[in-house]
């Protein structure tokens, strides 16, 4: 079993980057949209959304590449690598959602 290099491209990394990037684009706007009951707040801050997309996409790539590869190698399944890579990409998205909730609830 070979350990993946830091930032190495694999299926888990790509799945994590996709989930992290798309989720990060809307992560900061979810809490204000729920609180105000106005869906236009999802894209109310486009520059912060773009920054969140970049941060969550990069962290999703790194986490998905490490965790997804190891689980996929252990189970000998590419599907498991893609699924765990995508779930690992949700970690930075959830952290950004919590940050958005904290900032909008104050």
Answer whether residue 11 is part of any domain: no
Q: What digits encode the pLDDT tens for the residues 62-90?
A: 999 999 999 999 999 999 999 999 999 99
In-domain check, residue 6:
no
* Burial (CB count within 10 angstroms: exposed 0-12, middle 13-18, buried 19+), residue 105: exposed
Asked if residue 57 belongs to a domain, the reply is: yes
pLDDT recorded at residue 4? 78
Apex 46 CA angle, 44 and 47, nearest 5:
135
Question: Are the beta carbons of 30 and 97 closer than 8 angstroms?
Answer: yes
Q: Domain residues for 91?
A: 16-105
CB 13 within 8 A of CB 85: yes
The predicted-structure confidence for 1-51, as pLDDT tens digits, reads as follows: 677 788 889 999 999 999 999 999 999 999 999 999 999 999 888 999 999
């Amino acid at each position: 079993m070979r350990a993946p290099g830091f930032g190495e491209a694999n299926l888990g990394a790509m799945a994590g980057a996709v989930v992290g990037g798309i989720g990060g684009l809307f992560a900061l706007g979810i809490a204000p949209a729920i609180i105000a009951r106005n869906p236009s707040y999802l894209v109310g801050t486009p520059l912060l959304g773009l920054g969140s997309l970049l941060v969550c996409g990069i962290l999703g790539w790194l986490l998905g590449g490490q965790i997804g590869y190891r689980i996929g190698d252990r189970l000998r399944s590419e599907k498991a690598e893609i699924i765990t890579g995508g779930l690992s990409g949700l970690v930075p998205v959830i952290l950004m959602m919590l940050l958005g909730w904290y900032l909008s609830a104050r």
